[in-house]
Amino acid sequence: MAQVDFYVILGVERSATRDEVTRAYRRLARRYHPGINPGDDEAEAFFRILTQAYETLRDPARRHEYDAHGAREHNPRPASIEFQGFDFSPGGGGSGTSATFEELFSEVFAAPDARAGSAPGRPERGSDLFGEIALSFEEAVHGSERRLTVTRLDVCDECGGSGRRRASEANCVRCHGSGTTRRRRGHMVFAMRCVSCEGTGLLRFRPCAACRERGVAAREEEIVIHVPAGVDDGSRLRIEAKGNAGLRGGEPGDLYIVAKVGPHRILRREGQDLHLDLPIAIHEAALGAGVDVPTLDGTARLRVPPGTRSGQRFRLREHGVPSPRRGGARGDLVVTVNVVLPPVADERSRALLREFGRLNATDVRKGLFED
């Protein structure tokens, strides 16, 4: 059984008011509540002591009885840490009760990794990796498959990710085979389960030299990347669980690939639509014509109606880019026609144009200078 000073546990003076006791408890409870520290036996053991101290000191009657009869005995549920009382022997520490809680407990209740360096801690998710691939315009529109060699941290083959390998049993050099170690802070003495042998007193494992106890090792891996149809320049592809491996059994990170899409020779993309500037001859614009239009799927036939003007736009349905978010639904091909005048190289052509002007004597600038 251990003697516990509730004032020291809460880090308050013996003259502290009820409000001061409550504030101290709430501050510490936010840090050591089991809900915030799942699976941490040390935090849970201390939270039990902390709650008992608070319930005693906030109640005037119980506090009066506690002050009159001194510290109560306390025996928390077995855990990896146990308060063993106070040591007032010469050299046993400082004033003890005048120290703040952080000074008294920061080392005792530190995380296992911070105390022992090589002790196992909580699982930690692996970091994400990032890269990029270059795609042609056609590959981005139709989709493709790429193989990429990635250097990533993976679970160590030698130790299976534990950071340790089995060895012949020997007494633990840290606790000398007892399974417990003692820590003193001020006049307070704590017995803790040895983190090196996990309380067994025996060392059954040795550090893994292959991964230097990290449980992960760098390796190259060829990863197949399936590029969906319709990705745009700058699109980010996520390959799940192909980032760095997690530590201590944590989930692996992801691999993110940014697509760099090259331009097309004649087409340009705006969202899921493609755009094309199509030259047509003057007689095709005037008389109408059927014109072959290049698309990513071959050629399509565009009907140019008579009297088409330069800059007029036509839309070819579903000749655009498939959408990876809408089940592959395709956009359109928007064609903007530009009427091109051919060079007049002979007298016969000039005569025909003059005759055309006489027969179609329309003033194309009518109203231009009228107010």
- 246 and 274 together in one domain: no
Angle at 87 between CA 83 and CA 90, to 5 degrees: 160
Residue 253's contacts (CB-CB under 8 Å, 6 or more residues apart) are: 125, 126, 127, 128, 129, 241, 243, 244, 246
Total count of domains within the chain: 3
- 55 and 143 together in one domain: no
pLDDT for position 111: 42
Beta bridge partners of 135: 261
Asked whether residue 110 is domain-assigned, the answer is no
Asked whether residue 184 is domain-assigned, the answer is no
pLDDT for position 191: 74
Spell 78-116 as b/e; 16+ CB within 10 A means b.
ebbbbbbbbbeeeeebeebbebebeebbeebbeebeebb
Domain membership of residue 279 as a residue range: 268-359
Average pLDDT, 10 consecutive residues per value, the chain (371 residues):
70 89 86 73 78 89 85 45 49 41 42 41 87 95 94 90 75 80 63 76 78 87 94 95 89 95 96 96 94 94 96 96 90 97 90 89 78 61
Pairing of strands 2-4, 268-270: unpaired
Domain ends where: 79, 100, 116?
79
Do residues 66 and 57 make contact, with C-beta atoms less than 8 angstroms apart? Answer: yes
pLDDT for position 168: 66
Using CB atoms within 10 Å of the CB of residue 235, give its burial: 0 to 12 exposed, 13 to 18 middle, 19+ buried.
Answer: middle
Domain ends where: 61, 79, 97?
79
Asked whether residue 118 is domain-assigned, the answer is no
Asked whether residue 92 is domain-assigned, the answer is no
pLDDT for position 106: 44
- 133 and 257 together in one domain: yes
- 229 and 350 together in one domain: no
- 36 and 136 together in one domain: no
Residue 69, number of CB atoms within 10 A of its CB: 8
pLDDT for position 79: 42
- 135 and 228 together in one domain: yes
Domain harbouring 316, CATH code: 2.60.260.20
Do residues 216 and 156 make contact, with C-beta atoms less than 8 angstroms apart? Answer: yes
- 30 and 54 together in one domain: yes
- 29 and 146 together in one domain: no
Asked whether residue 93 is domain-assigned, the answer is no
pLDDT for position 225: 94
Asked whether residue 3 is domain-assigned, the answer is yes
Domain harbouring 54, CATH code: 1.10.287.110
Half-sphere exposure of 353 (CA within 13 A, CB side): 12
Nearest to 333 by CA among 262, 270, 265, 264: 270
Asked whether residue 55 is domain-assigned, the answer is yes
Distances (CA, A) of 64 to 56, 61, 98, 259, 353: 9, 5, 21, 72, 117
- 226 and 347 together in one domain: no
Domain ends where: 50, 79, 108?
79
Read off the tokens for 172: 């633990």
pLDDT for position 362: 81
Asked whether residue 119 is domain-assigned, the answer is no
pLDDT for position 82: 53
